[in-house]
């Protein structure tokens, strides 16, 4: 069962590149959630690493496009991205050091972040970036 499902009504930004990236991101998060449910630490680690690497790639793409159009809310957007990346990298390091586990609470936190961030923050860049 999926943890999160992309729908245009809930998560569409009017920027096809980033909508496709968000769909892929949701798939990776659903994969991590499934790995957590299966309880196999190696699979969880691979899924976590893949998700975090893709988050960094996606954030870089969004930020580059916002810079291209001199998006006025870029600094606040960067702050939101940096906060999540810092949290995720810290969690990743602790997981691989054996100091913490990835749980359903972890995947729920990531789901909730996306459910807040995309409709309330990303959607605002739609008009400025839709021509890219």
pLDDT digits 0-9 by tens, 57-96: 999 999 999 999 999 999 999 999 999 999 999 999 999 9
pTM for the model: 0.96
Distance from C-alpha of 23 to C-alpha of 101, rounded to nearest angstrom: 26
Q: What digits encode the pLDDT tens for the residues 9-58?
A: 999 999 999 999 999 999 999 999 999 999 999 999 999 999 999 999 99
- Give the per-residue pLDDT at 132: 79
- Give the per-residue pLDDT at 76: 97
Q: Is the predicted pLDDT of residue 131 greater than 80, yes or no?
A: no
CA angle (57, 119, 19) in 5-degree steps: 45
Contact 89, 75 (CB under 8 A): no
CATH for 14-129 is: 1.20.120.50
- Give the per-residue pLDDT at 44: 98
Q: Is the predicted pLDDT of residue 1 greater than 80, yes or no?
A: no
The average pLDDT across 105-121 equals 98
Confidence of residue 119 (pLDDT cuts 50, 70, 90): very high
Distance from C-alpha of 57 to C-alpha of 3, rounded to nearest angstrom: 22
Task: State the alpha helices, DSSP H only, in 69-103.
Answer: 74-96
């Amino acid at each position: 069962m999926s943890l999160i499902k992309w729908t245009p009504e809930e998560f569409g930004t009017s920027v096809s590149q980033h909508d496709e990236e968000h769909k892929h991101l949701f798939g990776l998060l659903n994969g991590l959630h499934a790995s957590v449910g299966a309880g196999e630490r190696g699979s969880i680690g691979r899924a976590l690493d893949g998700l975090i690497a893709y988050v960094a790639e996606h954030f870089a793409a969004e930020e580059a496009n916002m810079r291209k159009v001199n998006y006025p809310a870029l600094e606040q957007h960067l702050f939101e991205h940096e906060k999540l990346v810092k949290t995720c990298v810290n969690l990743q390091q602790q997981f691989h050091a054996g100091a913490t586990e990835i749980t359903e609470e972890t995947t729920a936190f990531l789901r909730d972040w996306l459910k807040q961030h995309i409709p309330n923050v990303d959607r605002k860049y739609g008009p400025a970036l839709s021509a890219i």
